[in-house]
Amino acid sequence: MASTTPIDTPPAPPAPPAGRSSSSTGRAGDKIFAGLSSGSGILLLVIMASIAGFLTYRAANAISQDHGNFLTTFDWNPSGNPPVFGIAVLLFGTVVSSIIAMVIAVPIAVGIALFISHYAPRRLAAPLAYVVDLLAAVPSIIYGIWGALVLVPYLGGLNIWLDQYFSWTYIFDQTQPGVARNMLTVGILLAIMILPIVTSVSREVFLQVPRMNEEAALALGATRWEVIRLSVLPFGRSGVISASMLGLGRALGETMAVATVLSPNYLISLHLLDPGGGTFAQNIAAKFDEANPLGRDALIASGLVLFILTLLVNSAARLIIARRKEYSGANA
């Protein structure tokens, strides 16, 4: 008869004392803090729902009186007879300028963050980090004034150079020569604005890399770049994505800087060097004061589209981060 060996089972964790939750010590301070935290979260959801409800109500009122297609119409004339307005140009300009800003800013920001956290000597890294944090706090109107007075005149030469050597790409074909108040200029200005934010957050993430991982790679003979590529960047990938989404959120909703630099019109052009274009925030800032009641509802409707676009971008970022964490946990 085969003998059986009893299987050792780990002891069960001790039960929490009677009348107490396993996640709380039962002290009054803990209960107050838990209540305040829960209340803050609920309040945030209520505020977001209130904003969405207000925007939806006013947008529905405007769209019901629109004699065009709100999603595909190029014109913006809510005071006309009949009123016609649409977001096609504004959606195109917002997305294109934000993409240009992200393509320029994110690689440079990651490089600066790596330099501050892993390459620069401490005497240089500390003041450089301070300057980056200071730039992140500069108001957007300051960037806008600087862009209008400095960036726009200097980018005129860049536009001529791009048109001369890269017009074959179509997007750098300048069909309407003039002042450099175009989507490329807006994208460059937005890139400069979001660069400190992405750099600051990425730097803090890179500084959190476990020191033992880097020392183990160095002990195995890895170079400085191999340590960064194999240890630092994989650890900080989720943080860099989060930092990029913060920068993208600012680029999508930027108002004054874009309004100061851009010469708005309601034409969609894939030629980034041609003057004109428009974004949601810039159009709202430019048209709100002079708009009639229907015009204001139309602007609020465009704000609802920007609100939804921002939510979709942030939700996509959260989904990417969650999947990367699950992938990392599965391979651990």
* DSSP sequence for 126-173: HHHHHHHHHHHTS-HHHHHHHIIIIIHHHHHHHHHHHHHHHGGGSTT-
Q: Which residues contact 163 (CB under 8 A, 6 or more apart)?
A: 172, 173, 174, 177, 273
Helix (H, G, I), strand (E, B) or coil at 230: helix
Mean pLDDT is lowest, of 60-64, 125-129, 177-181, 255-259, for: 177-181
Has residue 328 got a pLDDT over 60?
no
Would you state the structure tokens that stand for residue 5, as one six-digit string? 């060996």
Q: Give the burial string for 106-137 (b: 16+ CB within 10 Å, else e).
A: beebbebbbebbbebeeeebeebbeebeebbe
Give CA separation, 40 vs 35, 224, 265, 314, 315, in Å.
8, 44, 42, 20, 21
Would you state the structure tokens that stand for residue 136, as one six-digit string? 């992140």
Has residue 68 got a pLDDT over 80?
no
Say if residues 251 and 187 touch (Cβ distance below 8 Å).
no
Which pLDDT tens digit goes with each residue over 247-300? Answer: 898 888 888 888 888 877 777 778 888 887 888 888 888 888 888 889 899 999
Has residue 153 got a pLDDT over 60?
yes
pLDDT in the model for residue 40: 92
Would you state the structure tokens that stand for residue 180, as one six-digit string? 């450099």
Which pLDDT tens digit goes with each residue over 157-200? Answer: 888 888 888 888 888 888 777 777 888 999 999 999 999 999 99
Prior bond of 293 cis (ω within 30°): no
Say if residues 259 and 286 touch (Cβ distance below 8 Å).
yes
Has residue 114 got a pLDDT over 50?
yes
In which band, very low, low, confident or very high, does the pLDDT at 17 lie, cut at 50, 70 and 90?
low
Has residue 11 got a pLDDT over 70?
no
Q: Which residue has the higher pLDDT, 149 or 274?
A: 149
Mean pLDDT is lowest, of 21-25, 148-152, 210-214, 271-275, for: 21-25
Burial class (CB in 10 A: 0-12, 13-18, 19+), 87: buried
Cα angle, residue 148 at apex, residues 147 and 149 outer, rounded to 5°: 95
Identify the structural domains of the chain with CATH numbers, from first to last.
48-326 (1.10.3720.10)
Q: Which residue has the higher pLDDT, 178 or 123?
A: 123
Has residue 19 got a pLDDT over 70?
no
Mean pLDDT is lowest, of 41-55, 70-84, 99-113, 197-211, for: 70-84
pLDDT in the model for residue 1: 47
Greatest extent of the chain over all pairs of C-alpha atoms, in Å: 98
Q: Which residue has the higher pLDDT, 47 or 329?
A: 47
